[in-house]
């Protein structure tokens, strides 16, 4: 794994205000990724075959959690864990002491002992991982820190869970897989959209066979982030810098995760081939021109990220998936969420279903809510009331609940390190394909053939 200081460095962002001028470390990291031939990293024969079954670890009756990063999303997870039985936040790390103190107060107000705080700078997570007696390190930091923090957790005998994406180079995807296998620790990417009410309804329809053989899916992250990217706080301090140096599908997992589950990716099928192309880059430039005076430093920034990226994936079984990224243009939010089979189709935004011979009217959509009475996922049946008010419509609570449940019961986690690597690999592969005139590129098989035999993804009751 590259040292974190050779990757995107948040300290540089804060010093420069993300001006994009002179960020040599950023350009060096991404140009190397673009120029490398992905096939050189498509296999790791030195690792040998993948494990016969996905990892299980001994049950943990009381899960002790160290939080690394407690900004907007991290604080949301803190609030969730305080309402989940069988876990306790015992340590909190953040580069902003006031944010760590805020989380400590939340923990104390919930009736738990005050957690130990780690606020000595951007690498104080290393001290947390080495010194604290923890079961799980939970990471909600800027993207460039996810891999070094996961590796530090596992090297110190802790399970790791990280916000998305888990990694954005193939080298780092493999580093996570290798570390999880060597240390026998879970490394989970927290893809909350896998737990959306409609996504799990779709999964149940698929598992019940109502859509027939699944042949095609579409997902994406279509979210106007222009105002957020230009803020002088929170994600504005680092996210816009990625748009300056990178051109590809930078945030694929929200739309792709639920579709991958419906296709049993890594559990009967796998991503095999990718082709990607991007539109011209216009949206961020226009936003800066319309919101800042001519002499403002943000008016001098230049952006590489195409406003719309389309990445087409073919699986080993020949199925197709279209993944879209669109964050720099005016548009209502959508994740698309389309799954199509030989007998029917589910499509989101708005949520609707058509199943041949079973829908109310031929060739006309049913409202997806009409199918909830019979096919509501058990997770939502059981936890809808408890998840009310949690982030992203409650699905954040469900994903945190399931992680704690699996750790306490000694079960395989719903998503594992192979899923984290496969979904995250879309980004570097898309960057390479775009940079090489949309040439096709092969996916690594992070399971090293075990996708053919590992049991299908069910998420209890699906």
∠ CA 56-149-425, nearest 5°, is 75
- Crossing angle for the helix pair 417-424 and 170-183, to the nearest 10 degrees: 180
4: confidence class by pLDDT, cuts 50, 70, 90: very low
Taking phi first (over 0 means left), then psi (-120 to 50 degrees means alpha), and beta for anything else, what does residue 277 get?
A: beta
Residue 34: is its pLDDT beyond 60? Answer: no
Beta strands 159-162 and 187-189: pairing type? parallel
Same CATH topology for 52-189 and 194-382+416-452: the answer is: no
At 231, give phi and psi (nearest 5°).
-65, 155
**C-alpha–C-alpha distance, residues 433 and 33, integer Å:** 11
Q: Give residue 9's pLDDT.
A: 42
What is each CA distance from 237 to 11, 101, 175, 242, in whole angstroms?
Answer: 10, 21, 27, 11
The answer to whether 2 and 396 have CB atoms below 8 angstroms apart is: no
What strands, in cross-sheet order, belong to the sheet with 320-326?
366-367, 352-355, 344-347, 338-341, 214-222, 320-326, 308-315, 271-278, 441-442
Which CATH number applies to 194-382+416-452: 3.90.550.10, 3.40.50.2300, 3.30.360.10, 2.60.120.280?
A: 3.30.360.10
Name the percent of the chain lying above pLDDT 70: 90
> What are the residue boundaries of the structural domains of the chain, listed by start?
52-189, 194-382+416-452
Average pLDDT score over residue span 94-118 = 98
Query: Over the stretch 317-357, which tens digit does the pLDDT of each residue have?
Result: 999 999 999 999 999 999 999 999 999 999 999 999 999 99
What is each CA distance from 340 to 173, 210, 216, 360, in whole angstroms?
Answer: 29, 11, 5, 18
Q: Give residue 458's pLDDT.
A: 74
The answer to whether 341 and 213 have CB atoms below 8 angstroms apart is: yes
**C-alpha–C-alpha distance, residues 65 and 89, integer Å:** 5
Query: Over the stretch 414-455, which tens digit does the pLDDT of each residue have?
Result: 999 999 999 999 999 999 999 999 999 999 999 999 999 999
**C-alpha–C-alpha distance, residues 363 and 46, integer Å:** 52
Residue 460: is its pLDDT beyond 90? Answer: no
Query: Over the stretch 126-153, which tens digit does the pLDDT of each residue have?
Result: 999 999 999 999 999 999 999 999 999 9
31: confidence class by pLDDT, cuts 50, 70, 90: very low
Average pLDDT score over residue span 88-113 = 98
Residue 15: is its pLDDT beyond 70? Answer: no
Q: How many CB atoms lie within 10 A of CB 170?
A: 24
- Give bridge partners of residue 320 from the DSSP assignment: 216, 314
**C-alpha–C-alpha distance, residues 455 and 457, integer Å:** 7
**C-alpha–C-alpha distance, residues 291 and 33, integer Å:** 33
Q: Give residue 299's pLDDT.
A: 96
**C-alpha–C-alpha distance, residues 271 and 121, integer Å:** 39
Tell me if residue 280 falls in helix, strand or coil. Answer: coil
The answer to whether 230 and 288 have CB atoms below 8 angstroms apart is: yes
The answer to whether 250 and 242 have CB atoms below 8 angstroms apart is: yes
Average pLDDT, the chain: 92
Query: Over the stretch 202-230, which tens digit does the pLDDT of each residue have?
Result: 999 999 999 999 999 999 999 999 999 99
Q: Give residue 1's pLDDT.
A: 38
Task: Using CB atoms within 10 Å of the CB of residue 143, give its burial: 0 to 12 exposed, 13 to 18 middle, 19+ buried.
Answer: buried
Q: Give residue 13's pLDDT.
A: 35
Residue 26: is its pLDDT beyond 80? Answer: no
**C-alpha–C-alpha distance, residues 50 and 55, integer Å:** 11
∠ CA 242-249-256, nearest 5°, is 130
Residue 275, both tokens? 């082709």
Residue 32: is its pLDDT beyond 50? Answer: no
∠ CA 204-205-207, nearest 5°, is 60
CA dihedral (13, 17, 23, 27) positive or negative: positive
Query: Over the stretch 296-327, which tens digit does the pLDDT of each residue have?
Result: 999 999 999 999 999 999 999 999 999 999 99
Residue 81, both tokens? 């864990």
The answer to whether 259 and 341 have CB atoms below 8 angstroms apart is: no
Beta strands 214-222 and 271-278: pairing type? unpaired
∠ CA 416-422-425, nearest 5°, is 135
Q: Give residue 44's pLDDT.
A: 85
Tell me if residue 444 falls in helix, strand or coil. Answer: coil
**C-alpha–C-alpha distance, residues 152 and 160, integer Å:** 9
Q: Give residue 457's pLDDT.
A: 75
Domain 52-189 top-level CATH class:
alpha beta
Give the DSSP per-residue string, 286-298: HHHHHHS-TTSGG
């Amino acid at each position: 794994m590259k040292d974190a200081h050779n990757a995107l460095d948040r300290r540089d962002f804060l010093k420069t205000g993300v001006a994009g001028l002179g960020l040599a470390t950023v350009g060096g990291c991404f140009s190397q990724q673009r120029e490398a031939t992905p096939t050189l990293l498509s296999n790791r024969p030195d690792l040998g075959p993948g494990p016969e079954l996905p990892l299980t670890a001994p049950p943990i009756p009381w899960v002790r959690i160290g939080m690394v990063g407690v900004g907007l999303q991290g604080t949301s997870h803190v609030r969730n864990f305080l309402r989940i039985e069988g876990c306790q936040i015992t340590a909190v790390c953040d580069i902003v002491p006031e944010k760590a103190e805020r989380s400590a107060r939340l923990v104390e107000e919930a009736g738990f002992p005050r957690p130990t705080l780690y606020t000595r700078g951007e690498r104080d997570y290393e001290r947390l991982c080495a010194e604290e007696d923890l079961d799980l390190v939970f990471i909600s930091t800027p993207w460039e820190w996810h891999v070094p923090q996961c590796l530090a957790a596992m090297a110190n005998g802790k399970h790791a869970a990280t916000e998305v994406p888990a990694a954005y180079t193939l080298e780092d995807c493999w580093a996570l897989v290798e570390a999880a296998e060597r240390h026998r620790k879970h490394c989970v990417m927290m893809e909350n959209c896998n737990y959306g009410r409609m996504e799990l309804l779709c999964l149940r329809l698929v598992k019940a066979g109502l859509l027939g053989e699944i042949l095609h899916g579409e997902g994406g992250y279509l979210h106007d982030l222009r105002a957020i990217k230009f803020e002088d706080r929170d994600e504005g301090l680092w996210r816009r810098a990625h748009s300056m140096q990178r051109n590809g599908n930078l945030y694929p997992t929200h739309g792709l995760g639920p579709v991958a589950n419906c296709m049993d990716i890594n559990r009967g099928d796998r991503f095999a081939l990718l082709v990607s192309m991007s539109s011209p880059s216009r949206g961020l430039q226009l936003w800066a021109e319309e919101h800042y005076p001519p002499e403002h430093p943000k008016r001098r920034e230049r952006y590489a990220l195409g406003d719309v990226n389309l990445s087409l994936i073919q699986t080993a079984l020949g199925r197709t998936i279209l993944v879209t990224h669109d964050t720099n243009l005016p548009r209502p939010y959508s994740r698309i969420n389309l799954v199509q089979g030989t007998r029917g189709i589910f499509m989101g935004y708005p949520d609707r279903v058509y199943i041949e011979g079973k829908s109310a009217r031929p060739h006309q959509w049913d409202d997806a809510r009409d199918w909830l009475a019979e096919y509501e996922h058990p997770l939502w049946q059981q936890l809808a009331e408890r998840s009310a008010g949690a982030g992203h419509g409650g699905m954040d609570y469900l994903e945190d609940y399931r992680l704690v449940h699996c750790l306490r019961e000694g079960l395989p986690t719903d998503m594992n390190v192979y899923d984290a690597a496969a979904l995250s690999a879309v980004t570097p592969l898309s960057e390479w394909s775009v940079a090489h005139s949309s040439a096709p590129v092969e996916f690594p098989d992070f399971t090293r053939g075990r996708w053919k035999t590992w049991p299908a993804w069910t998420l209890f009751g699906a």
